[in-house]
Amino acid sequence: MTQPAKRRLNSTRTKEKGSRINKGRTKARYSQGPKNRPFPVMTHFLELPDDIIFVICSYLDTKALCRLSQTCLRLHHLTNYDSAWRRIAKKCLNTGITHDGLDLFPNISLKDRVKVSQNWKRGLYREDAPLKWKKNLLPWIQLDGDILYLSQAADIRAFKLQPEKYSLKRKPLVVYTGHREDVCRFLLTSSHIISGGGDGKIILHQKLSNFKIEFSAHEQEVNCIDCLGGVILSGSRDKTARVWSLSSNTLGQCLHTIPTGDRVWSAAISPILSSFATGTACCGHVSPLRIWDLERGELLTCLGEDFRRGAGILDILYETPFTLFSCGYDTYIRYWDTRVSTTKCMVEWEEPHDSALYCIQTDRNNMIASGSAYYGVVRLWDKRQSYCLQTFYLSVPVSSPVYCLRFTTSHLYAALSSALHVLDFKSVEPHHS
């Protein structure tokens, strides 16, 4: 065979081989779709668009998501977005995501909140007592952003929080005065501080100023107070609960006076303003927990039965218009749903050391925090479990109840008889577990 003929034969073989290779590649890159039409198949995870990667990330657990973030820069960037952590955050404790999906702390990364949530679950924290006083008091606290309000005797003081230093500024920003006796309870609205005192008065203080309005509300001390939607609810030792107008033209006008037949320790207004609940001392009525119509002031129903005498309700907390928590002297936290039953609670959690429970607070999702009557004990509960999750024994020289507690996603503030205690779950100490 001549040399030119050999070249033509080799060229033909090379083209046939290339054609077979290309056909093979085509089969590898395409598969049959509807009506035998080929569509491309993605061969690499990173070729997926961001939206699809976020959907995939939503099915991963915490460990898998953290490992994925370490693989490359793009995935590290994508896994820092809140959308990748939202499903995990809703299942964790105290991440600021409510049961309805509302984000209470949108300025803090969800990834960081999930990380701190593990410290709440494991009981890892740093403790401090930035404020102490010599006389035993019955303090109450409220949080408003980076300001903590604390009642001490007849005054209410506003302190600037310093989370980066695990403490607060000891010098108050403002001191609110006006009561002749101790402040029993107070709450915050967008523009005012509303307080009830041992002198039977209710005082409306304008925030960060000295302007105030006061009126006589009860013959004895105001043990509890709540405010929502233009009305104030107060309960007293004089065995009455009263509803007051907060409108500018009828401010301080009593709308209803409800004789409860027993001392009122706690009260709360329903989120939809249709009713309110009162908790009494359980000395003169079958049920210490009752629901009243807010517009007419009439009794709607009693919650529970077979309460022991003296099993008073010390705190009430609405979660939804139909569900609420209660706690008190009978050592139980109870979760009620008025749509299901008014005679039996849905769930109950018993204090392990048979101690009265002075206060409760929830993250509006899975976590409950409670303050006990002795030795400064704070307990964490997971609503999905029947037992106590964590117990924190605050450093106190003598036994004291936890009169009030509030928390953010990283700090817990507890008011005891002689000090304000702060638990920092962001900066932990290894021996606390």
**Mind listing the pLDDT tens digit of every residue in the chain (433 residues)?**
555 555 555 555 555 555 444 444 444 444 455 555 555 555 577 778 888 888 888 888 888 888 888 888 888 888 888 988 999 999 999 999 999 999 999 999 999 999 999 999 999 999 999 999 999 999 999 999 999 999 999 999 999 998 666 578 889 999 999 999 999 999 999 999 999 999 999 999 998 788 899 999 999 999 999 999 899 999 999 999 999 999 878 888 999 999 999 999 999 999 999 999 999 999 876 689 999 999 999 999 999 988 888 899 999 999 999 999 999 999 999 999 999 999 999 999 999 999 999 999 999 999 999 999 999 999 999 999 999 999 999 988 889 999 999 999 999 999 999 999 999 999 876 544 4
Q: Which of 380, 386, 316 is nearest to 348 (CA)?
A: 386
Q: What are the E-state strand segments in 6-134?
A: 30-32, 38-40, 126-132
Q: How far apart are CA 221 and CA 200, in angstroms?
A: 5
Residues 6 or more apart whose Cβ sits within 8 Å of residue 74:
46
Q: How many CB atoms lie within 10 A of CB 430?
A: 6
Find the radius of gyration of the CA atoms of the chain. 30
- Compute the C-alpha angle 121/126/131, nearest 5°: 125
